[in-house]
Chain A
């Protein structure tokens, strides 16, 4: 077997260096959705640490390019005539990104009989905006963090009600807290209409309570399954530390009790209970008539009966947010995202220390990120991960300087690669393990992606390109063109054999020194760049 493998390797000589780029470039590829030349220049001039510091402190007002893109962007909406409502086929601006929940909730009004397309429009606008932000925002790290938290606090917006309120979830819950305080973040999530629907807490009432939210709060949002000890202990008092109010982990009894604490945390959805009628605003609503008001014990802490409204739930959130297991779970997850699938204990411990020190600070997450991004491990572990599909696709657009016109087709492209853009089904979010993204089906889709996305054919509805304008004036020799794009896209030197292969691909039976005419240039370059994005050097991060 080995003989044969050796033979094949000489037959198909290895062309890829798969060497790490410079540490700054490696870092930029993780902080951004693929660095653009200005960012590389900036880091060369001012240093990586200063760039990280700036990225950790985004300024809303300083983001002109993105603002212009967001205000000029349009997204198609199309549906046939139905039940007397007229057909619609128009390009509409992204009007709903800043809408309040009351405005959005009107889409849910049954009497208006709105078409399904109108109801999922808020979600579609957030999807479109997420592309524009990833590609054009100056504050790249913030967008990377927003993606991280969307995945951590996953909701599946295939549910129409969640689609309707999705701009609020994205804006006032995820985006608002992405570099903030975790305890505050957790409460915003717990009270968000999206999460109340997703994990069913909106229906939870005494008794038995609906356990869905409470269980995932422990297992996924906070302590994590490494600290779920149900297989070891049947009674709360048996968990080590529980009798002192400091159990090392949790069991089902904690889940049951926490579920009771959140009974009555629901949505103002206008339902009529006979004696009471909920307002119809779509906002968070506490209904005391459903709350289980008796004493509870969560993580070894007793809660007295008959507490004021919301107090049981707030206390439950304190207990999980400040638990040491939560610090470890979240910090490890951040290190896995930013460093490697198996980060060292040392870097996780360091992050836990910062996280815990700042657990009451308004910028707890920023402080923790500042620690992680300034470790040596952050810049020295290139190649330990592959780009997630959203990252891969955004980096294709960024590196080729696309004029992007996001449309619904992009969501389908992502799902081909195993990435479900705000519609991953389970509350785990996507796995953050390299092998998940590398099934044969996902691999194929990763290669096929650029073939459509980088097309200069007028049928490409996603983006347009002008490659010539990015190249030095008058450049027309295949070798020069190839070297220019290798440097531009892979941002590191490549072996001569690799470059040779790319040159012969570009000239395709022609002569290697024959200039490429201007009228063929965009097409030729498009194919070359497509191939470059298929290389391991572009796929890895």
Chain B
């Protein structure tokens, strides 16, 4: 079903059922059991060779100063991972102990040498292609998430909001999706001033232009979220209290994931969400910025996963970036734009504690264009396994136009429905 029809038709009259929690997920034919997929995008090109590194590879050692390299001992010593690729000693950056813990408890899988199978080294090109989901058509008017939402039959009909972007804006992956929520801070998500504004606005935005749809979506979501916010005796929102004594770190990702956890616990039928975490474009003096971002990533993911302990069986989190960075560091002690990269997948149905993919090696002739880690796993293959096994949508040909060689890496439990490569939604 096309989501917008439902929302446009029901938003105003939905009051009777709204406020109740969405608990049934019995909609067929595909069963998702309320799966929730969180897509974390590290904007700027995260240096995967500084996050998950083959520490003793002689090419790795020769091409990088120790400041931008994970080592097996000394100041930069990394956290050793079992079940690495190609028999190499892979280690996480030392600022990622929470990730190490999740990996060791089999909740986290790492896929290396993955990414976009297109030669671009441009951030904005790479992100655009990844998020529109087509290697060839730059002018697609919809993002891949939007096509997923348009084609999925597994959303519960009672779902109020099946998709959300955390932050003020909507990323390209949701381009053309008129009912995706953008929420930055739950407790500020309300219309201020005269109480009559809402109903008048409702009568002002009744058309079907982009602006009208945006306005309807905003009005609808403001009403629904405000019904569900925890309030004190005088009807003021109370600060969010995470479960299990979790404290989210004070960084951008920590704040975003806390907002997302709040929305997930409102049980409004959320199915897919995107979260951005920027600042990874480390062209100079990488060591400081990278360490602090990695610490932020690790602590935030750890907090989020523990806060949602009751949702872990439904939750899958994927972390990716637009590309990795150059094997050889530059004279500014940074790294320039590269190619292949590491991806992380976390969740209750992940066969974690293991690295996946095909390690291409770092010899000069093994590198992409003689400079960068090659891509041996298409990012769409990783996403497709999640879409197929967790979100039960087989329409890969529609979601990723032109994609036709899905070979699962098997990092997830579950079975694949019969894959559908047809272009039609």
Contacts and interface: CB of A to CB of B under 8 A. Distances in A.
Contacts of B204: 14-16, 534-536
B240 interface: no
Contacts of B215: 443, 536
A425 B278 contact: yes
A479 B245 CA distance: 58
Contacts of A212: 281, 283-284, 336
B283 A501 contact: no
Contacts of A380: none
A426 B123 contact: yes
Query: Interface extent on B, as a size class?
Result: 35 or more
Nearest to A229: B119
Contacts of A252: 121, 369
B113 interface: no
Interface string A434-456: 11101111111101100110000
Given A14-B203, A15-B203, A536-B212, A440 B182 contact: yes
A370 B132 CA distance: 36
Interface in B232-283: 278-279, 281, 283
A505 B200 contact: yes
B14 to A, nearest CB: 11
Contact of B124 (A386, A428, A501, A508): A428
Interface in B176-195: 176, 180-184, 189-194
A291 to B, nearest CB: 12
A508 B67 CA distance: 67
A230 B332 contact: no
B21 interface: no
Interface residues of A, number: 69
B392 interface: no
Contacts of B133: none
Contacts of B10: 4
A527 interface: yes
Please indicate which of the listed interface residues B192, B202, B214 has the most CB atoms of chain A within 10 Å of its own CB. B214
Contacts of B283: 199-200, 210-212
B210 A438 contact: yes
B217 interface: yes
B12 A8 contact: yes
Contacts of B209: 18
Interface string B333-347: 010110000000000
B390 to A, nearest CB: 25
Contacts of A435: 170, 175-176, 210, 214
A440 B207 contact: no
B256 to A, nearest CB: 12
A231 B129 CA distance: 12
B211 interface: yes
A167 interface: no
Interface string B32-49: 000000000001100000
B167 interface: yes
Contacts of B8: 1, 5
Contacts of B189: 441, 444
A343 to B, nearest CB: 15
A439 B169 contact: yes
B332 A448 contact: no
A231 B183 contact: no
A16 B122 CA distance: 43
A212 B123 CA distance: 11
A215 interface: yes
A445 B168 contact: yes
A493 interface: no
Given A204-B332, A210-B284, A434-B210, A527 B205 contact: no
Contacts, number: 197
A440 B214 contact: yes
Interface in B1-37: 5-6, 8-10, 12-13
Contacts of A439: 165, 168-170, 180, 182, 214
A9 interface: yes
Interface string A502-535: 0001001000000000000000000100110011
B194 A440 contact: no
A203 B284 contact: yes
Contacts of A12: 12, 199, 202-203, 206
B210 A208 contact: no
A225 B125 CA distance: 7
B112 interface: no
A81 B177 CA distance: 51
B218 interface: yes
A211 B170 contact: no
Please indicate which of the listed interface residues A2, A16, A234, A452 has the most CB atoms of chain B within 10 Å of its own CB. A16
A415 interface: yes
B184 A441 contact: yes
A13 interface: yes
A443 B218 contact: yes
B337 A451 contact: no
A219 B192 CA distance: 41
B203 A13 contact: yes
Contact of B197 (A9, A211, A447): A447
B330 A211 contact: yes
A5 B9 contact: yes
A68 B197 CA distance: 37
Given A5-B8, A231-B120, A14 B201 contact: no
A539 interface: yes
Nearest to A225: B125
A441 B206 contact: no
Given A4-B9, A228-B122, A444-B218, 18 more contacts: A1-B6, A1-B9, A5-B8, A9-B206, A11-B12, A15-B200, A210-B331, A212-B281, A231-B118, A435-B175, A438-B210, A439-B182, A439-B214, A441-B183, A447-B191, A448-B192, A527-B194, A534-B204
Interface of B: 5-6, 8-10, 12-13, 43-44, 118-125, 165, 167-170, 175-176, 180-184, 189-194, 196-197, 199-207, 209-212, 214-215, 217-218, 221-222, 278-279, 281, 283-285, 328, 330-332, 334, 336-337, 369
5 contacts: A4-B10, A210-B283, A215-B337, A220-B124, A425-B43
Interface of A: 1-2, 4-5, 8-9, 11-16, 18, 199-200, 203-212, 215, 219-220, 225, 228, 230-231, 234, 252, 255, 386, 415-418, 425-426, 428, 434-436, 438-445, 447-448, 451-452, 501, 505, 508, 527, 530-531, 534-536, 539-540
